[in-house]
Amino acid sequence: FLWPGLATAQTVGLSVPDTTAPRGSVVLLPVRVDSSLTGRNVTAFELQFQFNNQLLDPDSVVLAGTMLDGSGWSILTNRPASNLMRIAGAGTTPLSGTGVLFYLRLKLKADGWTSFVFAEPTHNILNQGVPPIIVKDGSVSVTPAPAIGISPDGDVLAVGERRTFTAYSGQAPYLWSTTDPAVATITADGQLTALSRGTTHVAVE
C-alpha cells in the first residue's frame, strides 16, 4: 500500500504492524518495507524503536525468511536506553523489492498496551538519508496469560471417599496430579480418591 504522497515523493515506506499476544509468550514482530527498494541502491540502514519496557523486551533480531536472509549483511543491535532498541545494518548487495526487512524477537512480560514507534528521525534512515523514508508506527497489546480453572476449588473428604474434579478454560487432553499422592490420588479423567489424613492440592495441565 502507499501512504499519501509516497509515489510522487519517491519515498520508501517502512512499517510495523499492530500485534496482540498473551503475556509470557515470545513473538516475532516484522519490520516491513512497503514500497520497492529495487534500483534505490540501499546498502545500509539505521532504525530505532521506542516502547514500554515494562511490558516487553526485544532481545534480538531474526533474519530467517526476511529480505536480509542470506544477504551477507552485518547487523548490529544496541540498547541506548531501556525503552529503546537501535538496529543498524550494512552490506555490499543492495536490497530490492518489498517484504519483511527483519523480525524483532519480543518477550512479553506484563499485561497492557504499548505503542511501538520509529523513534527520532535522525536514527531512522536508509544509507545516509537517501532515499528518504516515511514510517508507520504500530502497537503491541499484551493479553493475560491463559489459565486453566478447576472445579471444585476446595473440599473436605473422608478417607476412601471419592470426588470428581473438572477443568475448564483449557484444552483437552488434561494431565491431572496431586501434590501429595499419599493423601489422595487422581485418575486421568479427574476422579480423586482420598487415601489418608492430610492435605493435598490438585493440579491440572
Residue 35 phi, psi (nearest 5) = -135, 145
Q: What is the pLDDT of residue 8?
A: 41
Name the 3-class secondary structure at 115.
strand
Instruction: Extract long-range pairs of 178-184: CB within 8 Å, 24+ residues apart.
Output: 178/202, 178/203, 179/203, 184/157
Q: What is the pLDDT of residue 114?
A: 96
pTM of the model: 0.73
Q: What is the pLDDT of residue 170?
A: 84
Strand 133-136 to 12-15 pairing: parallel
Q: What is the pLDDT of residue 6?
A: 44
Please, which residues bridge with residue 59 across strands?
none
Distance of CA 154 to the CA centre of its chain: 36
Q: What is the pLDDT of residue 169?
A: 85
CA–CA distances in Å: residue 128 to residues 46, 47, 64:
9, 12, 26
Q: Distance between CA 138 and CA 42 in Å, rounded?
A: 24
Q: Are the beta carbons of 15 and 32 closer than 8 angstroms?
A: yes
Whether the link from the prior residue into 152 is cis, omega within 30° of 0, is yes
Q: What is the pLDDT of residue 2?
A: 46
* Residues in CB range of 58: below 8 A, 6 or more apart: 29, 49, 51, 85, 104, 105, 106, 107
Residue 6 phi, psi (nearest 5) = -65, -45
Q: Which residue in 35, 44, 40 sits closest to 5, CA to CA?
A: 35
Give, for all 205 residues of the chain, the pLDDT tens digit.
444 544 444 899 999 999 999 999 999 999 999 999 999 999 999 999 999 999 999 999 999 999 999 999 999 999 999 999 999 999 999 999 999 999 999 999 999 999 999 998 999 999 988 999 999 999 999 999 888 889 998 899 999 999 999 998 888 899 999 999 999 999 999 999 999 999 999 999 9
